[in-house]
Amino acid sequence: MTNGEENIRDQAAQGAGGTPNTAPGEGTRPAGYCRICGRPLAESEVRMRDGVIYCEAHAPAATPPPRTEWEAPIDAGPGTSPGLAFVLGLIPGVGAIYNGQYAKGLIHVVIFGLIISILEAGAGGLEPLFGMLLATWIFYMAFEAYHTAKRRQAGLPVDEFSSLIPLKEGAGSLAGPIVLIALGVFFLLLTLDVIDLYQVVRFWPVLLIVLGVWMLISRRGAEGSKGGTQS
């Protein structure tokens, strides 16, 4: 995390030939920080791609070709109605379909089905929790469809997997995949009866703790690369 970013920053500083770690100009606030190397940038050095700030060295090609079919921007039709999107979003998958995001719609349906299955199989005492989860999910789908429709209406590019939860693409943090792997391992241990749900469920606040720690670390890391080194 911090270490890695420092390495990148140093290498970038040496590679790009720019002055490392010094703020541009005396006392001027930088116009932005490069997403990749974190170097503070003057107004003229800022390169914007898709709403993200990069420095000259790390800016991807002007209009990068869509990396996967799933990231191609979805065209906004003339009749995009966020209100309608919200209502349709209450039905699993339909909200995403309205926005043209078919793969996401499928995933929404699958998750909905999973929650219903768990409820039906009797989550033994945890039914209220999963009931609330179901309600939350239904509204998440609706709001997500609403927001995506609004973005499309405004003509902003929207990729297949847009969501309310910020997902960093590209060389973003490793946390995402690691969480995914941990989740997978957890479910596997559960389904293979290695651990028992009842033994483990009482530890759920650990997730909050981990989330907090991770946020701390990533913030400290960001601060460290942004303005911490004022030598």
Partner 1 sequence: MNTPLVTAVRGPVLMVTLGALFAADRFGAAEFGQTWPVLIIIYGVLKLLERLALRRRLEAPRA
Partner 2 sequence: MRRGSLIGPFILILVGVVLLINNLKPELSLLNLFLTYWPFLLVAWGALRLIEILVSAARSQPLPPDGITTGEWVLAVLLCLFAAGADFARTQLPKARIALHGLELFGESFDYPLAGSVEAGAAPQVFIENLRGSVRVAGGEGTQVKVEGRVTVRAFAREEADKIHAKCPLEVIQQGDRIIVRTNQERAGDSGGVSADLEIFVPKGASVSVQGRYGDIDVANIDGGVEIQSDNAGVRLAAVGGDARIELDASDIVRVVSLGGKLDIQGRGEDIDLDDIAGRVTIEGAYSGDLTMRKLAQPLVFQSKRTELRVARIPGILHMDLGDLTAEEIEGPFFLKSSSRDVELTAFTGPVEIHLQRGDVELRPAEKNPRIEVSLRSGDISLILPEGSGAAIEASTRRGEIVNELDAGLSVEEFGEGGARLAAPAGREPSIRLDTRRGNITLRKTTAAPPKETPQRLKTTSV
Which spans of this chain sit near partner 2 (rule: CB under 8 A)? 65-70, 102-103, 106, 122, 124-125, 196, 198
H/E stretch holding 216: helix 205-223
| By CB under 8 A, residue 83 contacts partner 1 | no
The residue (of 110 and 132) whose beta carbon lies closer to partner 2 is 110
The residue (of 26 and 69) whose beta carbon lies closer to partner 1 is 69
Q: 148 to 207, contacts with partner 1 by CB under 8 A?
A: 170-174, 176-188, 190-192
The residue (of 45 and 160) whose beta carbon lies closer to partner 2 is 160
Q: How far is the CB of 37 from partner 1 (least distance, A)?
A: 9
> Taking the CB of residue 32, how many other CB atoms lie within 10 A of it?
19
Contacts of 229 (CB under 8 A, 6+ apart): 21
Q: What's the rounded Cα separation, in Å, for the pair 50 and 64? A: 10
Contact 142, 123 (CB under 8 A): no
The residue (of 102 and 186) whose beta carbon lies closer to partner 2 is 102
Q: How far is the CB of 103 from partner 2 (least distance, A)?
A: 6
As a residue count, the chain comes to 231
Cα distances from 130 to residues 115, 116, 140, in angstroms, run 7, 9, 15
* Chosen residue from 31, 57, 118, 138 binding partner 1 by CB under 8 A: 57
